Amino acid sequence: MSVLDVRNLRKSFGTEVVLADLSLEVPEHTATVLIGASGSGKSTLLRCINLLDTIDDGSIYLDGQEISDPAIDVDQVRRKLGMVFQSFNLFPHMSVIDNITLSPRKVHGVSPEQARSEAMDLLTRFGLADKANQFPDRLSGGQQQRVAIIRSIAVKPRLLLLDEVTSALDPVLVNEVLSIVRDLKSDGMTMVLATHEMGFATQVADEVCFLEAGRIVERGPAAQVIQNPQLPATQEFLRRVHEAGRL
């Protein structure tokens, strides 16, 4: 069974249709990469999966359970999901370690000692152990985003959603963030990520979906969609990405 199954999803903001009849399945331990221009619906799709936005039609299943049911306990669903934002969204009034342990302690009922030691293990693994007691504003953008990723996986999610996690970063900081994502992928984490980093997408993606106007217009393995796109729209998009020096 797939971890995530999105069927015929529709979402509009007022008269603007953002997602139109979009379907997507994500099997366990795979990474699905969403590519497409800004406004094509990538972020909205991730926010709908996370129930941060309500959908207009269609259904979303997580581990076979329909989470688009209006009566569902959204907090229960979100405990199974991790989300990383483009703008990090670390809590500025908390130290790195408190940012990471907040949800394990308050939501998952992990003892403070255990939450702390698990968080330290993750920080050590990703080379941030010395930043544990720092506040986010003392960290570089790349470090902040790495902490945000650690925060989202500290609750051991079934599915990790990454929304353009390197778009707000200096080019030299991008790689330190992407290497964490690569590590998580090789750990077997199931994930859906929106990105403009095509080289990175090629490395981690089991499936690449090219979105245009709220639809997945081309999908397949990275080798096919990114290296050898079939549709003119995909070719045009990749050509523009290439011009911007991101390929």
Q: Report d(CA 242, CA 53) in Å as an integer.
A: 32
Is residue 90 a contact point for other proteins (CB under 8 A)? Answer: yes
- Choose between 125 and 138: whose C-beta lies nearer to other proteins: 138
- Choose between 144 and 234: whose C-beta lies nearer to other proteins: 144
| Cβ–Cβ < 8 Å for 42, 9 | no
Interface residue with other proteins, options 6, 33, 34, 81 (CB under 8 A): 81
**Minimum separation from the CB atom of position 25 to other proteins (A):** 22
| Cβ–Cβ < 8 Å for 218, 35 | no
Contact code string over 148-177 relative to other proteins, x by CB under 8 A: ---xx--x----------------------
Using DSSP, state whether 84 is helix, strand or coil. Answer: strand
Q: Name the segment binding other proteins (CB under 8 A); options: 135-143, 186-194, 204-212, 224-232.
A: 135-143
Q: Name the segment binding other proteins (CB under 8 A); options: 99-107, 110-118, 204-212, 223-231.
A: 99-107
CA max distance for the chain = 55
Q: Would you list the DSSP string of 134-177?
A: S-GGGS-HHHHHHHHHHHHHTT--SEEEEESTTTTS-HHHHHHH
Interface residue with other proteins, options 36, 41, 136, 229 (CB under 8 A): 136
Other Cβ atoms within 10 Å of 41 Cβ, number: 25
Is residue 241 a contact point for other proteins (CB under 8 A)? Answer: no
**Minimum separation from the CB atom of position 92 to other proteins (A):** 6
Q: Let me know if 137 is exposed, middle or buried by CB neighbors in 10 A (0-12, 13-18, 19+).
A: exposed
Q: Report d(CA 28, CA 12) in Å as an integer.
A: 29
Is residue 83 a contact point for other proteins (CB under 8 A)? Answer: yes
Q: How many residues does the chain have?
A: 247
Q: Kindly determine how many residues on this chain lie close enough to bind other proteins according to the rule CB under 8 A.
A: 30
Is residue 91 a contact point for other proteins (CB under 8 A)? Answer: yes
Would you tell me which residues interact with other proteins (CB under 8 A)?
Answer: 50, 52, 74-75, 78-79, 81-83, 85, 87, 89-93, 102-103, 106-108, 136-139, 141, 144, 151-152, 155
